Amino acid sequence: MGIRERLSGNEAVAIAMKQINPDVVAAFPITPSTEIPQYFSTFVNNGQVDTNFVAVESEHSAMSACIGSEAAGARTMTATSANGLSLMWEMIYIASSLRLPIVLSLVNRAVSGPLNIHNDHSDAMGARDSGWIQLFSENNQEAYDNTIMANRIAEHEDVLLPLMVCQDGFITSHSIENIELIEDEKVKEFVGKYTPKHYLLDDKNPMAIGPLDLQSYLFEHKAQQAIAMKNAKKVILEVSKEFEKMTGRKYGLFEEYKLDDAEYVVVCMNSTAGTVKQTIDELREKGIKAGLLKVRVFRPFPGEEIAKALSNAKVVAILDKADSLNGQGGALYEDVVSGMYNEKLTIPTVNYIYGIGGRDTTSKDIEKVYEDLIEINKSNKLENPYRYLGLRGDK
């Protein structure tokens, strides 16, 4: 039986980290993720964990310290947001190329500039192709649960890739919700002890970390990363199934909400899914067959599985909380459409850029999206597939 609590998303993640009891946490404060290392440092100070907490002078140093400790064989975690992830940029790529299963809590926030401390997904989207697994969390419970599963996924011998657990800044990170925690002993047993096969401090098997990697080998090493990312899909499902046995909470690559018979479908990630679900319930009462596909696993991207799940829809809208500024739509839109194309699935699909810099997205906004989908289906015309939602002056 779980432990009922009322926690913010940041505190829930910090408690998950306490239960995991990593060997090292290296972090630097940045809004809105600051509370995670702040709470965790209290656990360290109180002797509730035996983690080595490394207070560094920047986010670049934080990821550098994480790389050093993980390479030495220590289970390592950290947290950041937006510009902090940007400052880690060089080291983010190095962590994945060295196949180090670091776990990072990414509290999503707009990346400067201009300066904005509120939520969108520009930080995660900027790092989407850096070789990190990315799990997205609708609410505090999912942020906690994904964090508990993260080490098991990242450290699997067929994966060995770093992992980001994403949640929406302030919307979930600072909002208090009811949550069910898992007992400490169960978490300890589920996560298990970290026993890497290769690490720097193993004097019986000396190894090099980060050597010069020129034409003869780099191509193959990058291919190995790609294979590991593909492997992660299966491992995520296996770990999620074990997690369901322990808690009763089911997770897949994505969540389907009233999707079986849905004609008009919205695809989105993170906290917006809650607003979409409420809107769907209201539209269903009016006889409109609305549905939702909420992406949980963005990297590796489950394009084939998403295409199959959307195969019965008449029209699809994909919501991106970051603009790729490429004239062709957001990152989630591009990946979903690519998956549909590969599966030879032809459905009218429209992209909405929304919520930039924390702009509120209400149920009225989501209802407008469904109204657009109904109109596209009636008219059999899809004009302007790249749109904005909630933009002042936009028609």
> C-alpha distances in angstroms, 180 versus 47, 149, 195, 202?
24, 15, 29, 39
pLDDT-derived band at 1 (thresholds 50, 70, 90) equals low
Mean pLDDT across the chain, nearest whole number? 97
Place of tokens 């109204």: 371
| Structural domains present in the chain | 3-247 (3.40.50.970), 254-389 (3.40.50.920)
Percent of the chain at pLDDT > 70 equals 99
pLDDT exceeds cutoff 90 at 2: no
Q: Measuring CA to CA, which residue among 165, 139, 187, 148 is closest to residue 8?
A: 139
The pLDDT of residue 310: 98
Q: Please enumerate in sequence order all residues whose Cβ is within 8 A of that of 342, keeping only pairs 6 or more positions apart, or say none.
A: 303, 304, 307
pLDDT exceeds cutoff 90 at 303: yes
Rg over alpha carbons for the chain, rounded to the nearest Å, is 21
The pLDDT of residue 361: 97
213-243 tens-digit pLDDT: 999 999 999 999 999 999 999 999 999 999 9
* Residues 186-196, mean pLDDT to the nearest whole number: 97
Helix, strand and coil percent figures for the chain, each rounded to 5: 40, 20, 40
The pLDDT of residue 393: 87
Q: Please enumerate in sequence order all residues whose Cβ is within 8 A of that of 212, keeping only pairs 6 or more positions apart, or say none.
A: none
pLDDT-derived band at 395 (thresholds 50, 70, 90) equals low
113-154 tens-digit pLDDT: 999 999 999 999 999 999 999 999 999 999 999 999 999 999
0.75 cut: is pTM over it?
A: yes
Place of tokens 């769907």: 280
pLDDT exceeds cutoff 90 at 394: no
The pLDDT of residue 156: 98
